[in-house]
Amino acid sequence: MPLRSHISAAFGALGPFATMTTTLTSGTATYDIFRPVDYDKLGFKSPIVTWGNGTNATPGRYSTMLSHFASYGFTVIATTLVNTGSGREIAAAARYLVEADTKPGSVFAGHLDVHEVASVGHSQGATGAVRVATMDPRLVSSVMTFSLPNIKWSAPNPDCPVKADCEAHPNRLTQPAFFISTHGPLDAIIASPATERADFESVRGRAALGIIALSGGRLADHNSVQDADVGGNPQGELGYATAWLEYTLRANKMAAADFSGRRPELVSNVDWPESMVK
């Protein structure tokens, strides 16, 4: 019988660690960092999450989600660019933290797990997140996308001189991948359940497909992942998204039950109809 989530609800609550947000620059690049305040209190090295914004969006529009990840001990780095479909900026951000882990005097020095890196993004940034993982599989160990657009929406923009520079090919992924989408009217056009299912099915290895119907008591749609003050409603997406990072980057056994075993919780959750795992 379909159930409502219990495990993901636990991960939907704020994590145990206090967080902070800072802005850093590296050459011409600017990054927003969402991280635990005190790395010494974690008891483990902090895995890295590199984030790609949707078209014309900035990290501040996703602060609820990104701060939530940080409260579980992840260090999130988000390029501030508003076009990220090529994946170049998302990759550069991850490499910035990998290098900072061995840089004397850096606040990150010795505190990061540079071997556990997730590329994550929304819409155009989801395209970029997949591209990072396929272009540099040694850098990225897990992938998560929010409303990965159908490839037909790829087009040239300031980050992609030609259309092919902003095309994602999930079938080339070798890392575990979680595709999150919705049953909303915008996603029906941009990132439909059928599109997401095809992406999920194209992955040869471990993968999950999560299609959420309601989030925070409202219809979930393309921009639900964004903060409430800009019209989003990310509450219902926090749990499974965090659980995926815990599962794939920290081998958390409780989180694993959302996506693996004889009856993964994701596929039994009535709020996420038509979800799948493999």
Which residues have CB under 8 Å from 45's CB, separation 6+? 111, 112, 113
- The answer to whether residues 220 and 237 touch, using CB atoms and an 8 Å cutoff, is yes
- At 115, the pLDDT band (50, 70, 90 cuts) reads very high
Give whole-number Cα distances, 5 to 176, 219, 237, 240, 272, in Å: 22, 17, 12, 9, 9
Q: Which residue has the tokens 């951000």?
A: 93
Query: Which domains, and CATH codes, for the chain?
Result: 7-277 (3.40.50.1820)
Section 147-168 average pLDDT: 88
pLDDT of amino acid 153: 85
Closest CA to 17 of 73, 67, 59: 73
- Compute the average pLDDT of residues 143-163: 90
Query: Tens digits of per-residue pLDDT, 244-255?
Result: 999 999 999 999
pLDDT at 3 over 80: no
Token look-up 């600017």 returns 30
Question: pLDDT band for position 178 (50/70/90)?
Answer: very high
Specify the pLDDT at position 6.
75
Rounded CA gap, 59 and 66, in Å?
A: 8
Band (156; pLDDT cuts 50, 70, 90): confident
pLDDT score, position 1: 40
Stretch 99-121: mean pLDDT: 97
> Which pLDDT tens digit goes with each residue over 184-230?
999 999 999 999 999 999 999 999 999 999 999 999 999 999 999 99
| Chain segment 45-97, per-residue pLDDT in tens | 999 999 999 999 999 999 999 999 999 999 999 999 999 999 999 999 999 99
- Count Cβ atoms below 10 Å from residue 149 Cβ, excluding itself: 24
Q: How confident is the model at residue 272 (pLDDT cuts 50, 70, 90)?
A: very high
Residue-wise pLDDT tens digits, 11-26: 999 999 999 999 999 9
DSSP assigned state of 45 = P
Considering the chain, what percentage of its residues have pLDDT values greater than 70?
98
pLDDT of residue 250: 98
Across 43-59, b (16+ Cβ under 10 Å) vs e yields eebbbbbbbbbbbebbb
Token pair in block for residue 102: 């061995």
